[in-house]
Amino acid sequence: MQRLNSKRAARQAALGQGLLLSSVLLAGGTHADTLAAAGADNAGEAAIGVAQAGSEVASVTVSATRRNASLQTVPLAITVLDGERLEQANRNSIESIVQEIPSATFRQQGGNKDSTLFVRGIGTISTSPGVEPTVSTVIDGVVLARPGQATLDLLDIDRVEVLRGPQGTLFGKNASSGVLNVVSRKPGQQLAGFVDGGYYEGNEKRVRAGVSGALVPNVVAASLNALYADYDGNVSNLHAGGGKVNGYERKGLRARIDITPRDDLDITLIADYLRSTGSPSFTAYKSTSAAFSQAIAPVLASPGNRSINADLASDIRDTNRGLSAQVDWRFNGYTLTSISAARDWDNQQYTSTSAIGNSAEASRITAAYPATRDIGTVAFSQLSQELRVASPKDGFVDYVAGAYYLHGKDREVYQRIVTTNAVNSGRADYGVKNDSYAVFGEATLNFTPLLRGIVGARWNRDELSYDHVRTSTQAAAFPGVQPATQSAGETDKDGYSGRLGLQYDLAPGINTYATYSRGYKGPAYNVFFNMLARDTLALKPETSDAFELGVKSSWLERRLTVNLAAFHTAYKDYQANFYDTVAGAVVTRLINAGEVSTRGLELDVTARPTQRLSLNAALAYTDAKIDQFNCPAAAAASCNLNGKTLPFSPKWKSFVRASYGLPLDNGLLLDLSADYSVQSRTQYDLFQSPDAIQGAYGLVNAGVTLSSSEGGWRVALVAKNLANKSYATNLVTSTGYVTRGVPRDDSRYFGITARKEF
């Protein structure tokens, strides 16, 4: 017992030291010191520009309010990440970039369509196509309607903006908890190109190439970028010929054309395509059953286990493609913007709901631990149209107003084969259609040069319908496969959201604000393979009431910026998955779970003590909990959840980064950098299972970069997870065992990257 207490004390001390270090080091989540000037225009494109080459903190311009504005003046809590910096750090997906965003976490699941992003402890946990995401993802003004679409490689990215809290008054789709706003790079006028590549331990390879320049000087500029990346994986399949799994392969293209036929008109055309395959694999984390341990042998369940025994490993295939056209017309100080877009997402999943894998050998199969094979396909398409008008900025009222429409169509086929002493199977064909209409706007009232008011409103109408047909070998309920059924339904709801606030400049460089925002998330249907009669009723919309106080300040002649936000958000009719029992098997059930809330503090600090030294960090305290849980009849799990923590919400999380640039005598530049992310213990299970708790952990990364002073080439050495800390991105409890999601950074590895520009 004394030894256990010593270990616990050591972990707590390490966490405390990490949090103290995060709050003491002067830093922020913007990485503004390294961002190159991008030249924002008046069409709503944002730029990140360096104020000057001295020791000031670089100024950052964002498009979070649909206008170009300084990050330090926008009355919102925002984190900005530089695309090039993320690529150098081998953070190339939403899953990996959350290490740099203390207020965000990522839930890894078996497939892309089941993974999701959380902001301030709130996110969507559902595989149903009839549920919209709580955190909206927007790429170049186009909303991605399904969470699975956002699990793509970050190709040709200028920056990522993370807006915390409800954002319905300015962004096209509902966003009751936050927005992930991704902005791609603009092509320049000069003909230029690049090739860069990286190789990392574990046989991970990444190659990117691009070319950009003017086709017609000052009229037409274009860029074309390509990506290839693959990774064997960090989980060993011990089955004969199994090899490595938990890896990926990605191939992508992105083309952009910017047309300026006259001074008052800009047209942007974007096409993108990304094909990816992956083999995500959960490993046995804990076993309390001798039968389970025998079934997975020779694998030994343990917290650090990175092996499986599956004759058919998981195989996930995604194709994302899209076209968009943005037109910006400026007249008499106004800007009229139109964004038209079409996107398709195809997903194929060959997975298993059994820990012993697909179609396992008869000697490993038991009634308690059968072998399952799931085969699912998703064909999703969306069409969207957004119109906005931005007023001149020199009057008493500055405003942005708009209208939005989105049509989504989803068709899915899901098959399950369950093998015990017999083979049982079922197939479900189902789909969802949704039409979303919205009118929105937000205005700033300039009462005095120092005092401003904020007024925003949004009306939204959602029309949602589904159909579902299941065939089955089972005439009665059976674990994993339910009897044949058929149903259909439709619903429509009107919703309202808005924003009110005041903004006051206490002094030059010190801006304060207080806002109230109402968030809205539309109605939902729980449409999935084993859909039952109880799932045919539509869920009510989810609403939220958010209060935020913030201070954004610059000090010491802009060598230091300090931003602080305090927030409290209460959610009603929270849409969440609940455990229930069907035929003796525990299954998930989507319900209006009741009332939850999140509150906390967020600190972002950036410092430039000298021209060579940059310090960056962010710290978040988030208390996300269940206030009043609505327990459905005949629930399989305890409903004594009031006051408990929401899953995927660590109370403390921070990120610290230091960079030191050293000019060499031969004209070369040497950059030394290190970063440290740390978070407190995290509960992954809504029902507070002690086996689903990830303990506190910290990750240390470092890099050494050598580049030419003209920027023509760059070579970097990268070290990831130097402390060799193993951790889980998800822990899933089942009868007799627990499985773990294994992240890419689960162990220490090194890599080298190189870039050549021409």
**pLDDT tens digits, residue range 314-357?**
899 999 999 999 999 999 999 999 999 999 999 999 887 676 76
Is pLDDT at 545 greater than 90 in this prediction? yes
pLDDT bin (cut points 50, 70, 90) of residue 275 is very high
For residues 378 and 370, give the distance between their C-alpha atoms in angstroms, rounded to a whole number: 26
* Torsion sign, CA atoms 349, 87, 85, 267: negative
- Checking DSSP bridges between strand 192-200 and strand 749-757, what pairing results, if any? antiparallel
Instruction: Enumerate the β-bridge partners of residue 200.
Output: 204, 751
Alpha-carbon dihedral sign for residues 362, 363, 367, 373: negative
Contact 438, 531 (CB under 8 A): no
- Of 205, 185, 208, give the one whose Cα is nearest residue 196: 208
Mean predicted confidence (pLDDT) in 287-298: 88
Q: What percent of the chain has pLDDT over 90?
A: 56
Distance CA 336, CA 388 (A): 6
Comparing 303 with 44, the larger pLDDT belongs to 303
- Residue 368 DSSP SS3: coil
CA gap 88, 104 in Å, rounded: 21
Distance CA 416, CA 279 (A): 18
Provide the β-strand partners of residue 660: 613, 672
Residues with Cβ within 8 Å of 419's Cβ and at least 6 positions away in sequence, in order, are 359, 360, 365, 370, 371, 372
Distances (CA, A) of 550 to 65, 175, 502, 512, 515: 16, 20, 11, 6, 9
287-312: average pLDDT? 89
pLDDT at 343: 96
Q: What is the pLDDT of residue 360?
A: 63
How far is residue 377 from each of residues 274, 348, 395, 470, 691, measured CA to CA in Å? 17, 4, 53, 15, 32
> By the 8 A CB rule, do 339 and 142 touch?
yes
Give the Cβ contact number of residue 540 at 10 Å.
Answer: 15
More confident site: 586 or 417 = 417
Quick count: other Cβ atoms within 10 Å of Cβ 719?
A: 15
Say what the pLDDT of residue 240 is: 74
CB atoms within 10 A of CB 632: 14
Q: How far apart are CA 399 and CA 393, in angstroms?
A: 8
Mean pLDDT of the chain: 85
Query: Which of 29-33, 143-147, 244-248 is predicted least confidently?
Result: 29-33
Q: What is the pLDDT of residue 235?
A: 94
Q: Are strands 78-82 and 157-164 parallel, antiparallel or unpaired?
A: antiparallel
Strand partners, 425: 417
* Token pair 């992508």 in the structure block, residue: 252
Name which of 148, 14, 165 is nearest 79 in CA terms: 165
Residue 11 has pLDDT above 80, yes or no: no
Q: Which two tokens stand for residue 183?
A: 């902005």
pTM of the entire predicted model:
0.87
Backbone angles phi, psi at 44, to 5 degrees: 100, -5
| Token pair in block for residue 589 | 């059930």
User: Under a CB-based contact definition with an 8 Å cutoff, are residues 118 and 176 in contact?
Assistant: no
Beta bridge partners of 251: 228, 275
d(CA 309, CA 295): 9
Which tokens hold the place of 335? 């800007």
The mean pLDDT of 604-610, rounded to a whole number, is 93
367-376, 562-571, 591-600, 736-745: range with highest mean pLDDT: 562-571
CB within 8 Å of 448: residues ≥ 6 apart:
none
| Mean pLDDT for the stretch of residues 461-488 | 90
